[in-house]
């Protein structure tokens, strides 16, 4: 198959196994030969950095998913959940929830989290040292965000065990072509999660927390324009917060360690020059972006590249491709922990840009920093298992040796 044919025949909903292992050759082909690629009638995939960035900033778009999710989810808990969360809404719901959230995720709030994240990470590394066969995902990367978001919502420690499973089940239903079993698990997870949060809200009503640090109390008490969140809005946006911050951050840490070990000179450089940590985190976000795809609907006619896009079209933004576009990044397949500038789009851009990006950056800085200091000889010790989904890019298992 020629590179042009690879680009023109690409189908996201039936992505080949080779694409799941390594999407970057396909993305390069798409950028070169078919950068505004028709996926189906009325549906396009954008792969160039300039087109993805322009669309994020374009006011003629909507994030409202009701039309797309109605046939996919039917009248179901998954439909109610996803269409009530801020990320899949436009103003006014989006604006109200975002304002309430942002106040609890500002720089002061992040600074207050730092000591807790350090203690959490150190505790996980202590525990890993005692394990015969530590797994960097299961025993480290997946445990950090669930506790950080658990702290943000002040979920009692003893009740946190099911959170990760619910989050995985709900997000898996967002894959381009989820099977019936995936949908059933997703719906059950929303139902269980809502019941769990109703109890938590009830307790918090009786014993409110500090709205400066406790996001749940903030969302319960907060008013924007004299209006509070309804109960479904409150519950579904709490679920979304946990989901948004969980797998993405796990994958940033897992993908980052895997990438650094694969280009060992970069691992060694970061160990020797810890002052590069801030640029390294941005580079790891770029290099293997945890969230690979975002979506928008055009609300007016527009032209992207040389394609006329009618109103009401489905547009898929390929973040992973934009972040490997050689028009913007010199030698994009080379990991460079000192890369600067680094205009990656791993957190999106514009009105819906990731509200938790600084929480994720804090978790990653602490995780990589403590890992490098404590185990500079860390290495893979077994065969990594890739997560075979395409919206989220990450590892299910990364067996490691510590010394
Ligand atoms: C490496 C980790 C993360 C990545 C790669 C990531 C990526 C993203 C992206 C690309 C979006 C934009 C979605 C869109 O435009 O449609 C987004 C939105 C969002 N993220 Fe993150 N995220 C991460 C971590 C977090 C964390 C830790 C939190 C919470 C503490 C969080 C909360 C949110 C929220 C609330 C939104 C919706 C914002 C809105 O619609 O206005 N994220 N994230």
How much is the average pLDDT of 200-226? 86
State the closest ligand 1 atom to the C-alpha of 353, by its place in the atom list counted from 1.
12
Tell me the C-alpha distance between 213 and 215, whole Å.
Answer: 6
- 179 Cα–ligand 1 center, Å: 25
Probe target for ligand 1 pocket from 46, 113, 244, with the most ligand atoms within 8 Å of CB: 244
State the closest ligand 1 atom to the C-alpha of 63, by its place in the atom list counted from 1.
16
The strand pairing partners of 302, in sequence order, are 309
Helix, strand or coil for residue 315? strand
State the closest ligand 1 atom to the C-alpha of 145, by its place in the atom list counted from 1.
27
Q: Which pair of structure tokens corresponds to residue 142?
A: 């997946």
Tell me the C-alpha distance between 91 and 227, whole Å.
Answer: 14
Between β-strands 385-386 and 302-304, what pairing exists: parallel, antiparallel or unpaired? unpaired
- Which has the minimum average pLDDT: 204-208, 218-222, 250-254? 218-222
Tell me the C-alpha distance between 195 and 202, whole Å.
Answer: 11
- 356 Cα–ligand 1 center, Å: 6
Tell me the CB-side half-sphere exposure of residue 36, using CA atoms within 13 A.
17
- 240 Cα–ligand 1 center, Å: 10
- Residues 114-168 have pLDDT tens digits of 999 999 999 999 999 999 999 999 999 999 999 999 998 999 999 999 999 999 9
Residue nearest to atom 11 of ligand 1 (CA): 354
How much is the average pLDDT of 109-117? 91
Q: Which pair of structure tokens corresponds to residue 248?
A: 């993405």
Task: Say yes or no to pLDDT of 223 above 80.
Answer: no
Tell me the C-alpha distance between 230 and 217, whole Å.
Answer: 14
Tell me the C-alpha distance between 90 and 146, whole Å.
Answer: 27
Q: Which pair of structure tokens corresponds to residue 86?
A: 């801020």
Give the H/E segment covering residue 38: strand 36-40
- 348 Cα–ligand 1 center, Å: 8
- 3 Cα–ligand 1 center, Å: 33
Q: Which pair of structure tokens corresponds to residue 239?
A: 């679920």
What's the gap between Cα 221 and its chain centre? 27
Ligand 1 interacting residues, C-beta cut-off 6 A: 63, 86-87, 98, 101, 149, 241, 244-245, 248-249, 252, 290-291, 294, 346-348, 352, 354-356, 359-360
Helix, strand or coil for residue 49? helix
- 248 Cα–ligand 1 center, Å: 8
**Predicted TM-score of the model (pTM):** 0.96
Decide: 290 and 393 in contact? Cβ < 8 Å: yes
Q: Which pair of structure tokens corresponds to residue 38?
A: 């028709």
Q: What is the pLDDT of residue 211?
A: 84
- 355 Cα–ligand 1 center, Å: 6
Q: Which pair of structure tokens corresponds to residue 187?
A: 């719906």
Q: What are phi and psi of 76, to 5 degrees?
A: -150, 165
Residue nearest to atom 31 of ligand 1 (CA): 356
Tell me the C-alpha distance between 257 and 347, whole Å.
Answer: 19
Task: Say yes or no to pLDDT of 215 above 90.
Answer: no
- Residues 295-348 have pLDDT tens digits of 999 999 999 999 999 999 999 999 999 999 999 999 999 999 999 999 999 999
Tell me the C-alpha distance between 238 and 193, whole Å.
Answer: 10
């Amino acid at each position: 198959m020629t590179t042009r044919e690879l680009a023109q025949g690409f189908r996201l909903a039936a992505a080949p196994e080779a694409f799941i292992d390594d999407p970057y050759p396909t993305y390069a082909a798409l950028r070169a030969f078919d950068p505004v690629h028709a996926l189906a009638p009325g549906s396009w995939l954008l792969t160039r950095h300039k087109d993805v960035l322009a669309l994020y900033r374009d006011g003629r778009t909507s994030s409202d998913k009701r039309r797309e999710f109605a046939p996919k989810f039917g009248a179901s808990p998954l439909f109610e959940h996803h269409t009530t969360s801020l990320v899949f809404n436009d103003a006014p719901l989006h604006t109200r929830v975002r304002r309430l959230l942002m106040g609890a995720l500002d720089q002061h709030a992040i600074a207050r989290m730092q000591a807790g994240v350090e203690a959490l990470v150190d505790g996980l590394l202590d525990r890993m040292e005692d394990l015969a066969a530590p797994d960097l995902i299961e025993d480290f990367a997946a445990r950090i965000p669930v506790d950080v978001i658990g702290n943000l919502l002040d979920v009692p420690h003893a009740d946190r065990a099911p959170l990760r499973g619910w989050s995985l089940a709900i997000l898996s239903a967002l894959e381009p072509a989820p099977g019936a079993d995936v949908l059933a698990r997703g719906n059950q997870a929303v139902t269980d999660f809502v019941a769990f949060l109703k109890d938590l809200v009830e307790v918090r009503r009786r014993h409110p927390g500090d709205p400066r640090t406790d996001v749940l109390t903030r969302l319960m008490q907060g008013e924007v324009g004299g209006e509070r969140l309804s109960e479904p809005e409150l519950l579904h946006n709490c679920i979304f917060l946990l989901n948004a911050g969980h797998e993405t951050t796990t994958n940033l840490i897992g993908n980052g360690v895997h990438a650094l070990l694969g280009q060992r000179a970069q691992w060694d450089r970061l160990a020797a020059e810890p002052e590069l940590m801030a640029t390294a985190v941005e580079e790891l976000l770029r290099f293997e972006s945890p969230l690979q795809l975002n979506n928008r609907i055009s609300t007016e006619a527009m032209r992207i590249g040389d394609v006329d896009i009618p109103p009401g079209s489905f547009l898929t933004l390929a973040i992973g491709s934009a972040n490997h576009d050689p028009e913007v990044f010199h030698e994009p397949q080379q990991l460079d922990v000192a890369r600067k500038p680094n205009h990656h789009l791993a957190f999106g851009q514009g009105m819906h840009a990731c509200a938790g990006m600084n929480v994720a950056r804090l978790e990653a800085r602490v995780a990589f920093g403590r890992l490098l200091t404590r185990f500079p000889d860390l290495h893979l010790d077994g065969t990594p298992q890739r997560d075979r989904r395409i919206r989220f890019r990450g590892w299910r298992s990364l067996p490691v040796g510590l010394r």
